[in-house]
């Protein structure tokens, strides 16, 4: 059985790990597109993004992985917003 044949199972296991490990990330979308896997969504920090990608690479080794994880900046603004 090839890596692509087990992709659905591996995606489900990745979702379980992201939900249950210290990262507790539920907002990441994971989809199979052709032979590859796409991760997308927003995360709280660059460290969180790196941890998600590390886990995804472990779980999805051998599958093409594409990601579009955006880090949301939760800091208070350091200057007023200019409206025109």
pLDDT of residue 13: 92
Domain annotation covers residue 78 = no
Q: Which of 47, 43, 46 shows the shortest CA–CA distance to 29? A: 43
**b (16+ CB within 10 A) / e for 54-70:** ebbeebbeebeeebebe
Domain annotation covers residue 1 = no
Q: Does residue 31 carry a pLDDT above 90?
A: yes
Q: How many CA atoms lie within 13 A of 15 on its CB side?
A: 15
Residue 34 maps to which CATH number?
A: 3.30.70.1770
Domain annotation covers residue 44 = yes
Q: Does residue 4 carry a pLDDT above 70?
A: no
pTM of the model: 0.76
Number of domains into which the chain is organized: 1
Share of the chain above pLDDT 90, in %: 43
59: containing domain:
7-71
Contact 30, 2 (CB under 8 A): no
Q: Does residue 45 carry a pLDDT above 90?
A: no
SS3 56: helix
Domain annotation covers residue 41 = yes
């Amino acid at each position: 059985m090839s890596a692509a044949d087990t992709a659905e199972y591996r995606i489900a296991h990745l979702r379980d790990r992201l939900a249950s490990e210290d990262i507790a990330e539920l907002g990441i979308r994971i989809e199979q597109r052709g032979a590859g896997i796409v991760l997308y969504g927003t995360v709280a920090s660059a460290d969180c993004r790196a941890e998600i990608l590390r886990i995804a690479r472990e779980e999805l080794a051998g599958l093409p992985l594409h990601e579009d994880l955006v880090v949301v900046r939760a800091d208070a603004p350091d200057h007023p917003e200019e409206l025109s």
